[in-house]
Amino acid sequence: QDRFPGIGRAATPAEVKAWDIDVRPDFQGLPKGSGSVAKGMEVWEGKCASCHGVFGESNEVFNPLVGGTTDEDIKTGRVANLKRTDYPGRTTLMKVPTVSTLWDYINRAMPWDAPKSLSTEEVYAVTAYMLNLGGIVPDNFVLSDANIAQVQQRMPNRNGMTTAHALWPGGELKGTTKPDVAATACMSNCKVEAKVTSLLPDHARNAHGNLAEQNRLVGAQRGTETTRPPGA
């Protein structure tokens, strides 16, 4: 303050209220209120389903939000399908560990083309509806600030996260400091096959457009004429 006279001013309570909308996993920031699954279905069908599908299953404008979780997951707090390499997609409900995340995000960013237009009740309701689609809360459920912590205890992937890694700078998350992958810099006669194991099939040659048009017209090399087959 003394060092920088005249710079900045105190925010008013109304200003902080207008902008401080975040909701944390411990529900700090969550406004009082509630909303039912039934009301949520209304909101969903009116304001969400056009993009996400009636059951949150659409991949037209984004990945499916719902699907891939089981009653068993709700018990264990680990989504079993995440272990399967043959499982086709990863829905929002499969991944999200914290119900606060859904509430916060819907409240700040959805509907995509009219963010921050929902009432608090609508956010509770449509969150409840999404949870209901995932079998996490029953059809007659009313989600509220009072019971949301219990709902958290049913999130299918609530135990699915770890911070035991070296990719957070600092000790706050009690991660590791040693990177998980430890390569060494072999310089000669290194033990590799140097065989090609993957490359694009020739028929996909032009899938990103004509690469000749994606490179400079002079220089040590040109872009490949991908409208023509290799070698032509």
Partner 1 sequence: VATAGMARAATPGDGDPAILELPEHSRGLGQPVVTDGYGKPSKWEANVQRRQSPGLTQTRQASVSFAPLQSLFGIVTPSGLHFERHHQGWWDIDPSRHRLMVNGLVKTPRVFTMDEIMRLPSVSRFHFIECGANTGMEWGNVAVPTCQYTHGMLSCSEFTGVPLITLLELAGADLNKGRFVLAEGADGSSMTRTIPMSLVRSGEVLVAYGQNGEMLRPENGYPLRLVVPGVQGVSWVKYLRRLELGDQPWGTKDEAVHYVDLLPDGTHRQYTSIQECKSVVTTPSGGQVLLDKGFYSISGLAWSGRGKVKRVDVSVDGGRNWRTARLQDPVMSKCLTRFNIDWVWDGKPAIIQSRAMDDTGYVQPSLRQLREVRGTRSIYHNNAVQSWLVQESGEVKNVQVS
Residues found near ligand HEC in the complex (CB under 6 A): 43, 47-48, 50-52, 61-63, 65, 92, 102, 105-106, 110-113, 118, 126
When CB distances are held under 5 to 8 angstroms depending on the partner's kind, the choice from ligand HEC, Ca ion, partner 1, none that residue 138 binds is: none
Region of 25-33, 110-118, 165-173, 220-228 interacting with Ca ion (CB under 5 A): 25-33
When CB distances are held under 5 to 8 angstroms depending on the partner's kind, the choice from Ca ion, partner 1, ligand HEC, none that residue 209 binds is: partner 1
In the complex, minimum distance from the CB of residue 21 to ligand HEC, in angstroms, rounded to a whole number: 15
Q: Does residue 108 belong to the site contacting partner 1 (CB under 8 A)?
A: yes
Asked if 97 and 157 count as a contact pair (C-beta separation under 8 A), the reply is yes
Collapse the DSSP code of 214 into the 3-class scheme (helix H, G, I; strand E, B; otherwise coil) and give the result: helix
The amino acid occupying position 97 is: P
Q: Does residue 33 belong to the site contacting Ca ion (CB under 5 A)?
A: no
Q: Does residue 226 belong to the site contacting partner 1 (CB under 8 A)?
A: yes
Region of 17-25, 73-81, 127-135, 208-216 interacting with Ca ion (CB under 5 A): 17-25
Nearer to partner 1, 140 or 162 (CB): 162
C-alpha pair distances (Å), 158 with each of 94, 110, 137, 178, 201: 10, 23, 15, 26, 40
Q: Which of 31, 71, 89, 168 binds partner 1 (CB under 8 A)?
A: 168
Pick the closest to residue 98 from 181, 154, 53, 138 (CA basis).
154
In the complex, minimum distance from the CB of residue 25 to partner 1, in angstroms, rounded to a whole number: 4
Q: What length does the chain have?
A: 232
When CB distances are held under 5 to 8 angstroms depending on the partner's kind, the choice from partner 1, ligand HEC, Ca ion, none that residue 72 binds is: none
Pick the closest to residue 127 from 215, 208, 23 (CA basis).
23
**Structure tokens, 63:** 């990945």
Asked if 77 and 159 count as a contact pair (C-beta separation under 8 A), the reply is yes
Asked if 166 and 180 count as a contact pair (C-beta separation under 8 A), the reply is yes
